[in-house]
């Protein structure tokens, strides 16, 4: 019996290997699926074939999601759901179906620049030569690596690894040391002017704007209750505990609501929220599973609700308040922020888009205790509170929508404060090193190499052991 079982396993493996072999698709075959297609909520997506890795990608906004071949005209998305391409009577692709819905091909004629697939063109011929960042009119002071302890050899190795694909989908790496931008490199189609999505790093900007709203008297203080800002709403699961949720609870992800991205059974599922008509209603309708100020649970509904509170307190859209305060003072003129917490933002997540230099300026503002060009943009007290431990979220210390993390380098712990988002967006404040690191990327719903890059090629320069060698 055991021999028969083993024989069946062997035959099954042969069949599986044969099936996978049959499913090998060439780049030219993948190009047949390219085009602009309908997508959810009257939006569109692009389907593109990569000449670099011979993989089909769905591009939603600017985010790329891999589609793996399963069978003829059928691909699996990153959630292992089937995406089936449809053909007309002439066997020409005219749409696709997914999750029981059908979407039409709108335009077959679409071209994709070669730069979007390669960190640098002609990567095999790439040899890195360091160049000091050029001074611009954005208010950043630039300087040379020669005036820092940063290791040029390590940074050279980092550049080679990014360009050869060891670290894929890294879009930019910037370092500010001792107040000066000393390292600035971009990859793929990105450059210093191009806006980049921040995903959940946007939360830290909401935190800053909360502090400014309190500083300016729009919000009395962080102990005000969340529900007091929504007298026109009627909420489900209303309890005395829910009535006690404060602004501070939203900032520390301790609202007590049944909303936890790490719990698949949580009622506050982020995707469900994204496609709801009113994200505030969805969030504050959730049942309570803990007291306010209790367990830290990562919930995007908390900062979204905080953003709406700022709008109601200031009587202006959140992006406009940012434009008139934080962004104006930092000299941030080029940004995109469509803060509409409803189904229209299902694929853009109410996030802010900035260029990497402006992300670095935001980090530097916090490193300098809220001062920019001699002006106190955010109060020192708010900065200190924001970067202090108030809760623990997913096993990591947490401030006011800031992660308080450490990276271990050869036994040395480096403590940083991070604004971070899906895909590898990282704005790190390294107080002991008087340094800011910014990394942007496109590893959406995948493990990002951002922390490893900092761990291996930036922080080791400061190891006491290294300095003694």
Radius of gyration of the chain (CA): 24
Q: How many residues does the chain have?
A: 469
Query: What's the burial of 337, exposed, middle or buried (CB within 10 Å: 0-12/13-18/19+)?
Result: buried
Domain-ending residue, one of 52, 77, 112: 112
The pLDDT of residue 221: 97
Residue 467, in any domain of the structure: no
**8-40 pLDDT tens trace:** 344 444 434 434 445 789 999 999 999 999 999
Please report, for the domain that includes residue 439, its CATH number. Answer: 3.40.710.10
Q: Could you list the residue range(s) of the whole structural domain that residue 315 is in? A: 196-462
Residue 170, in any domain of the structure: no
The pLDDT of residue 327: 98
Torsion of CA 112, 116, 121, 124, to 10 degrees: -120
Structure tokens of 191?
């450059």
**158-183 pLDDT tens trace:** 999 999 999 999 999 999 999 999 99
205 and 79 assigned to the same domain: no
232 and 102 assigned to the same domain: no
Structure tokens of 241?
């505990």
| pTM summary value | 0.93
100 and 213 assigned to the same domain: no
Please report, for the domain that includes residue 88, its CATH number. Answer: 2.40.128.50
In the predicted model, residues of the chain with pLDDT beneath 70 are 1-22, 465-469
Domain-ending residue, one of 112, 131, 147: 112
**Number of neighbouring beta carbons within 10 Å of residue 196:** 24
- The values of phi and psi at residue 96, to 5°, are -150, 160
Residue 148, in any domain of the structure: no
The pLDDT of residue 15: 39
107 and 203 assigned to the same domain: no
Residue 313, in any domain of the structure: yes
The domain tally of the chain equals: 2
100 and 221 assigned to the same domain: no
**Are 390 and 398 within 8 A, CB to CB?**
yes
95 and 227 assigned to the same domain: no
Residue 108, in any domain of the structure: yes
Sheet containing strand 403-409, strands side by side:
180-186, 170-177, 435-441, 425-430, 412-421, 403-409, 396-398, 391-393
238 and 365 assigned to the same domain: yes
The pLDDT of residue 465: 54
Residue 165, in any domain of the structure: no
Domain-ending residue, one of 112, 127, 144: 112
Computed over every residue of the chain, the mean pLDDT equals 94
Give the C-alpha separation, 123 to 160, whole Å: 9
Residue 340, in any domain of the structure: yes
Residue 343, in any domain of the structure: yes
């Amino acid at each position: 019996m055991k021999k028969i079982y083993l024989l069946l396993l062997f035959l099954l493996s042969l069949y599986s290997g044969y099936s996978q072999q049959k499913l090998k698709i060439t780049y030219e075959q993948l190009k047949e699926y390219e085009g602009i297609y309908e997508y959810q909520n009257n939006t569109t997506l692009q389907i593109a074939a990569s000449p670099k890795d011979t993989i089909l990608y769905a591009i939603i906004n600017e985010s790329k999601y891999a589609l793996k071949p399963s069978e003829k005209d059928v691909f699996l998305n990153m959630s292992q759901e089937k995406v089936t391409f449809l053909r007309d009577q002439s066997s020409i692709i005219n749409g696709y179906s997914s999750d029981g819905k059908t979407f039409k091909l709108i335009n077959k004629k679409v071209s994709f620049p070669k730069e979007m697939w390669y960190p640098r063109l002609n990567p095999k011929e790439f040899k890195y030569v360091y160049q000091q960042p050029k001074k611009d009119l954005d208010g950043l002071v630039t300087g040379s690596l020669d005036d820092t302890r940063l290791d040029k050899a390590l940074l050279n190795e980092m550049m080679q690894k990014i360009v050869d694909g060891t670290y894929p989908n890294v879009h930019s790496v910037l370092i500010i040391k001792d107040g000066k931008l000393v390292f600035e490199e971009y990859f793929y189609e990105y450059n210093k002017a191009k806006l980049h999505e921040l995903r959940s790093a946007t939360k830290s900007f909401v935190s800053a704007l909360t502090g400014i709203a309190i500083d300016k008297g729009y919000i009395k203080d962080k102990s005000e209750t969340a529900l007091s800002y929504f007298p026109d709403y009627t909420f489900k699961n209303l309890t005395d505990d829910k009535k006690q949720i404060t602004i501070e609870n939203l900032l520390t992800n301790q609202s007590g609501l049944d909303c936890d991205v790490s719990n698949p059974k949580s009622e506050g599922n982020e995707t469900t929220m994204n496609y709801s008509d009113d994200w505030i209603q969805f969030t504050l309708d959730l049942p309570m599973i803990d007291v306010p100020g209790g367990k830290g649970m990562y919930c995007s509904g908390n900062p979204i609700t905080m953003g709406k509170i700022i709008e109601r307190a200031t009587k202006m859209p959140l992006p406009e308040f940012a434009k008139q305060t934080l962004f104006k003072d930092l000299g941030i003129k080029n940004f995109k922020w469509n803060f509409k917490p409803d189904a229209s933002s299902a694929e853009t997540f109410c996030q802010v888009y900035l260029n990497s230099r402006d992300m670095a300026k935001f980090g530097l503002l916090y490193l300098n205790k809220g001062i920019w060009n001699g002006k106190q943009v955010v109060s020192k007290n708010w900065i200190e509170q924001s970067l202090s431990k108030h809760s623990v979220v997913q096993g990591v210390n947490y401030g006011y929508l800031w992660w308080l993390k450490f990276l271990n380098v050869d036994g040395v712990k480096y403590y940083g404060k991070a604004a971070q988002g899906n895909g590898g967006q990282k704005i790190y404040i390294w107080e002991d090193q008087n340094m800011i690191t910014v990394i942007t990327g496109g590893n959406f719903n995948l493990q990002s190499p951002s922390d490893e890059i900092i761990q291996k090629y930036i922080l080791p320069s400061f190891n006491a052991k290294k300095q003694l060698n």
